[in-house]
A and B are shown apart, each in its own frame.
Chain A
Amino acid sequence: MAGYVDKRQAQIDEEIAFTIRIMGAHGNLQAPRLPSFKGFDSFYTGRTSQFTFVNGKSNSTVEFSYVLVPKVVGRFTLESVQVWIDGKSYGTQPLEVEILGGSVGGNVNQPLPQPALPAPIASAQGSASPAQASATLPPQIVNDENVFVKAVVDKQTVYPNEQVLLTYTLYTRYDTRYEGFEEEPSVSGFWIEDFPLDRDLGRDTVSMNGKRYVKADIRKIALFPTAPAEYTIQPGTLKVSVREEPKTTSMFDEFFGDSFFSGSGFFARRMDRLLKPASIAVKAKPFPEGGKPASFNGAVGQFRLSASVDKNTVKQNEPVTLKLVLEGEGNIETLPKPPVPELTGFKIFDGDTSNQLLRTGDNLGGKKTFEMIFIPTEAGELSIPPLEFSFFNPRQQTYQVLRTQEFPLKVAPSEEPFHLPTELEQKEAYKKEVRLESKDIRYIHEEIPSEKLSRIAHYLYGGLASFNLLGLLIVGNGLLRRRREAIFARDHGLKRRKLAASIAARRIKALKQLAKSQEEEEAGRFIEEAEKVLNEYFSNKFNVSSYRFTTEWLEEKLSEIWSPEDPSLKQIREFYDRARETRFGRGGVPVQERQQFLGLIEAVIRRLEKRL
């Protein structure tokens, strides 16, 4: 939704066109009521609407037009106009307007609104000054013979879609200001169009029951009943602000007439009043059956039809646009498109539609334009036949039929295959939907279920489960190792003690090879290696430096663990003696003895690992 003005600068009394554009809304939109634009008179002048397709989406645009007439010099902000559509509020952006000193009518600059500035139509027009401030009490509906509103319709019996003009006329003997509708009229069952009013309210003086009143038409609504029925219109409630100084004598009536809707005494006391006109009954009778044309589709009023095509000579599958214009009086918004008969040799699509609403006297009317796209699928002499539009004329009480002329087309053959025109190809609406004609269960599955797939899934499942278990073990082992390394990093002695057996075990493997060897040289190496293994094991296990390590120290240490009489002690001593002898070249070591020493080393390590 957006608001626009045709100029940002104007002079006093120079008309400014103010437009409210609403896009994407559907259904019957009523003209937005303007708020009080300080320093301006405002008038509703009508609406236009358009329905188009862009990029496959349908777009509707409705424009409501107003005229703003500046009355004072200065820079003004036209505040946001709020509209409720489908329960949501939308607003226009505020607009800056500058009013300059000159006057198109030669009027002099006017000062800022004074109390009781003329308030022709916009609701809550003008600003309230201290002198005219309304009473703080909420306004109430009153029955006062000095100020009242009559809501009347111009016809009480109509046909569906025939205009009923609902007019609100204010009668008053007070100095009165019209403040707008407090409760909008309830007119369910009708299509509604707000009627553009004249700039001047048409004030008049009338006599009723011996009293003189000033009257003015403050609002007009065009109603179009949607179906034959009996309707009751609830006209709603409107608010006025009055200065309670009724003139009761005819002597003052002439004077009073001059003060109506105009200035008042500066110290006058003003009161808000709610006025509720009586409800109105309207009957919509059915259309007469006699003489009803087959093409009649509910249009009521008085219309003219014209048609044109954009070209008469085309190639096969090239689009031709037929433009139909319906003009006249009636409900332009709801006018149906003239039906197109079944045609061979053409593919037919709807194009854009646009409306323009106009007022002719007390009747609403306007212009509606339809576009239809004809695509000839065959070559040769073709023609778009006359299209028929019929309506019911309520004045003459007859049906009338309008026809377009026939449009001959020369279609040259073309190899170009049919495709939707560019402007239509995105329109999903033109593509037919596939619809189910009946319902039943779907057919059996005839393909043989694959056992292989099931087996693969089975093995995959098993394999993945195994690998997950393996992964868990590997990660668990990694975590344990990391933890052990962290502990060893803190306590190096512990590391030596814990790893003593595994280091010795690795070296014993090599020792076993030497133990089996028959060569003399290997025998010497065996005893040397065996001594190294045992020394390394003891120094690691007792966490001592190899420099500190002696056989006496070892005997003492082992005596603490085992007992001094333990035979292993003697065997270890003998082993070291034998090693010393061998080192100094005194005798070899036979295979059997080597095996005994190997057994001794393994047994000692085993025993110590169990104890420590």
Chain B
Amino acid sequence: MRPAFWIFLLFSFLGLKSPASARAESPAALFKKANAAYRNGDYTAATSGYESLIMRNWKNANVYYNLGNVYFKEKRLGQAILNYEKARRQDPRDRDISANLAYVRGLLEYRVEDKRNWYLKAGEAILASFTSREIGIVSLLLGLLFWISWGISLYLHPNSAWGWKRKALLGVTLVCVSLWVLRGWHDVTFEEAIAIKPQAAVRYGPSPKDQVAFRLGEGIKVRIKNRQGEWSRVVLANGETGWMNQEDVGIV
């Protein structure tokens, strides 16, 4: 008999897990396994694989993107859009994510016309092109350059005046920092969510007794304004507002 068999038997007798199984499966292995399940059309296994990665805080754009693909294959368009949106938050300039998001949105039964001003839409589009961390790193890098430049001038050339280069650096830094602050404020203030249940009821108040104002198709994006118990007050891009059960929406 092979020694491995005896070791397995000993661990079984002692009620212990073998060293191999005791060691948690690595995220990379889990990811590969979920990809293989997707390739084989086993979407249930793929979903649980990607979701377990997310549960283990392995929140990566690729994981969300692949999970979006799995939900699309399962015809759960709301969940697919939700995960593509999450992936885009992590990697805003990935063309595959944008293409799939646009494609799945094109399949939705309902659409909501965005009635906001053009400059709000343009501003949001610019902010959405970068992650908060990217803007932060650029701002901090520019800030550091600015401190170095000013520090050298203060300690080594105390009587020198500010040149155009330092003024320009300050200007660019301030713009970046403003964008960073704006992005942070946007993320905190406008919590985005996706309707994940078909024909979800949006009511006039936070209770099932309140009248239904309208029904929201799966995959429609809303902003959460405030919460009360199990209910969230949502605002649509066209300005319509109402209360939705939190189970009917997924936070991006």
In the complex the two chains form, is A475's CB within 8 Å of B144's CB? Answer: no
In the complex the two chains form, is B65's CB within 8 Å of A471's CB? Answer: no
Which of A14-22, A92-100, A435-443 lies on the face that meets chain B? A435-443
Which of A144-152, A351-359, A366-374, A460-468 lies on the face that meets chain B? A460-468
Which of A63-71, A287-295, A446-454 lies on the face that meets chain B? A446-454
B158 / chain A contacts, CB cutoff of 8 Å? 482
Which of B132-140, B187-195, B219-227 lies on the face that meets chain A? B132-140
The contact sample of 6 A-B pairs, CB cut-off 8 A, is A442-B100, A445-B66, A448-B62, A449-B31, A468-B144, A474-B147
Chain B contact residues: over half helix, strand or loop, or mixed?
helix
* Closest partner residue, chain A, to B155 (CB atom): A478
A interface vs B, CB < 8 Å?
Answer: 439-449, 451, 454, 457, 460-461, 464-465, 467-468, 471-472, 474-475, 478-479, 482
The answer for the CA separation of A460 and B134 in the assembled complex, in Å, is 11
* 7 A-B pairs closest in CB distance: A471-B147, A478-B154, A464-B140, A449-B60, A445-B62, A444-B66, A442-B96
| Residue from A449, A460, A464 whose CB has the most chain B CB atoms within 10 Å | A449
User: A444: which of B28, B35, B148, B151 is its contact (CB, 8 Å)?
Assistant: B35
* Chain B 139-165 interface mask (CB, 8 Å, partner A; 1/0): 011011011101100110010000000
A451 / chain B contacts, CB cutoff of 8 Å? 27
With contact pairs A449-B61, A478-B155 given, residues A471 and B133 touching in the complex (Cβ less than 8 Å) = no
- B93 sits at the interface (CB 8 A): no
In the complex the two chains form, is B103's CB within 8 Å of A439's CB? Answer: yes
The answer for the CA separation of A454 and B59 in the assembled complex, in Å, is 11
> Smallest Cβ distance from A456 to chain B, in angstroms?
11
In the complex the two chains form, is B99's CB within 8 Å of A442's CB? Answer: yes
In the complex the two chains form, is B65's CB within 8 Å of A445's CB? Answer: yes
The answer for the CA separation of A447 and B63 in the assembled complex, in Å, is 10
A478 / chain B contacts, CB cutoff of 8 Å? 151, 154-155
* Closest partner residue, chain A, to B32 (CB atom): A448
In the complex the two chains form, is B28's CB within 8 Å of A448's CB? Answer: yes
B146 / chain A contacts, CB cutoff of 8 Å? 471
B interface vs A, CB < 8 Å?
Answer: 27-28, 31-32, 35, 38, 58, 60-63, 65-66, 69, 72, 96, 99-100, 103-104, 133, 136-137, 140-141, 143-144, 146-148, 150-151, 154-155, 158
In the complex the two chains form, is B31's CB within 8 Å of A444's CB? Answer: no
* Closest partner residue, chain B, to A472 (CB atom): B147
In the complex the two chains form, is B143's CB within 8 Å of A468's CB? Answer: yes
The answer for the CA separation of A474 and B148 in the assembled complex, in Å, is 9
> Smallest Cβ distance from B89 to chain A, in angstroms?
14
B136 / chain A contacts, CB cutoff of 8 Å? 461
With contact pairs A475-B150, A478-B154, A482-B154 given, residues A457 and B72 touching in the complex (Cβ less than 8 Å) = no
B141 / chain A contacts, CB cutoff of 8 Å? 464
The answer for the CA separation of A447 and B65 in the assembled complex, in Å, is 12
A446 / chain B contacts, CB cutoff of 8 Å? 35
B154 / chain A contacts, CB cutoff of 8 Å? 475, 478-479, 482
| Residue from A444, A464, A474 whose CB has the most chain B CB atoms within 10 Å | A444
| Residue from A451, A475, A482 whose CB has the most chain B CB atoms within 10 Å | A475
> Smallest Cβ distance from A460 to chain B, in angstroms?
6
* Closest partner residue, chain B, to A460 (CB atom): B137
* Closest partner residue, chain B, to A454 (CB atom): B60
> Smallest Cβ distance from A241 to chain B, in angstroms?
55
In the complex the two chains form, is A457's CB within 8 Å of B133's CB? Answer: yes
A460 / chain B contacts, CB cutoff of 8 Å? 137
* Closest partner residue, chain B, to A457 (CB atom): B133
The answer for the CA separation of A468 and B139 in the assembled complex, in Å, is 10
B63 / chain A contacts, CB cutoff of 8 Å? 449
